């Protein structure tokens, strides 16, 4: 039976957290799901060592994968990553804008530097990834852009104000881009994960735990647990595939009921 992404080529920013046996990041889990469903996958990340190793692991599983160095906040890096994808696999059908970092802090606790870096990665990075994917997708007759926002892009997070603002920006950018490119069959959607157990989230929680603050996340979640990255990847896979052919400008919340309260 053909895979759900058979014949498609995908570029995933922040995709280096894909080591089998370790806790997966959301981009890493998406990479494995895409490879399993027949896509050729390019992982783009700042972390060259983990990115190359992850791509090699995916190839060992029998799928096609490659790594390209990508700082998602830099326009020339996106130009190179898209060119690399076209040179390696001949086309581009799917981009997942997943690269991210966190910054804890309310309004007065947030430095200008932290603000700029959060807006850079979560707003500008998503804009640049979309901008440079569009011409290649146009040549393929269409495509799917999946922007990984957050529940913090829908409801305010007073403890991570710059992060929340960046995620809100990527949510509304998604809708503006979806309208602009709908006639060209290029769909643009956002995914809003709730609390997900990933390397990035573990490092943020370690900061809290260092200060003796217990993990505040689980009591807030109606399903009573964190998500696995694979559960977020299932939603990304749907939006990347032709199963979502009538879905654009939408926001897919995957949060264990968190924002239903």
| Catalytic residue numbers, as ranges | 163
SS3 content of the chain, % helix, strand, coil (to 5): 50, 15, 35
Question: What are the distances in angstroms from CA 66 to CA 53, 164, 236?
Answer: 10, 31, 20
Decide: 155 and 112 in contact? Cβ < 8 Å: no
**Per the structure block, which two tokens stand in for 127?**
């804009």
Chosen residue from 38, 199, 220, 250 binding ligand NAD by CB under 6 A: 199
Does 81 help bind ligand NAD (rule: CB under 6 A)?
A: no
Contact range with ligand NAD by CB under 6 A, out of 21-29, 80-88, 236-244, 246-254: 21-29
Does 174 help bind ligand NAD (rule: CB under 6 A)?
A: no
Does 121 help bind ligand NAD (rule: CB under 6 A)?
A: yes
Torsion of CA 236, 241, 244, 246, to 10 degrees: 130
Nearer residue to ligand NAD within complex by CB, 18 or 136 = 18
The CB-of-156 to ligand NAD minimum distance in angstroms stands at 14
3-class SS at 79? helix
Decide: 96 and 27 in contact? Cβ < 8 Å: yes
The residue with its CB nearest to ligand NAD is: 25
Does 233 help bind ligand NAD (rule: CB under 6 A)?
A: no
**Residue ranges binding ligand NAD (CB under 6 A):** 13-14, 16-17, 25-28, 45-47, 70-73, 98-101, 121, 125, 148, 150, 193, 195-196, 198-201, 229
């Amino acid at each position: 039976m053909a895979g759900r992404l058979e014949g498609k080529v995908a570029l995933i920013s922040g995709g280096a957290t894909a080591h089998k046996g370790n806790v997966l990041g959301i981009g890493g889990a998406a990479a494995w799901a895409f490879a399993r469903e027949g896509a050729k996958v390019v992982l783009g990340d700042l972390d060259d060592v983990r990115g190359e190793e992850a791509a090699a692991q995916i190839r060992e599983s029998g799928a096609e994968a490659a790594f390209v160095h990508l700082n998602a906040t830099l326009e020339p890096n996106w130009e190179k990553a898209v060119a690399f994808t076209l040179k390696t696999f001949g086309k581009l059908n799917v981009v997942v804008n997943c690269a991210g970092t966190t910054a804890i802090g309310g309004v007065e606790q947030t430095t200008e530097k932290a603000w700029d870096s959060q807006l850079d990665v979560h707003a500008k990075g998503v804009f640049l990834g979309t901008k440079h994917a569009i011409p290649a997708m146009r040549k393929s007759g269409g495509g799917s852009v999946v922007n990984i926002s957050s529940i913090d892009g829908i409801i305010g997070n007073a403890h991570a104000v710059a992060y929340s603002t960046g995620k809100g920006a990527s949510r509304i950018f998604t809708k503006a881009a979806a309208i602009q490119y709908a006639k060209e069959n290029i769909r643009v959607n956002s995914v809003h994960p709730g609390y997900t157990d990933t390397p990035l989230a573990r490092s943020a929680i370690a900061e809290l735990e260092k200060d003796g603050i217990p993990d505040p996340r689980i009591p807030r979640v109606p399903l009573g647990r964190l998500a696995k990255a694979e559960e977020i990847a299932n939603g990304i896979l749907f939006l990347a595939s032709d199963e979502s052919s009538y879905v654009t400008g939408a926001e897919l919340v995957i949060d264990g009921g968190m924002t239903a309260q």
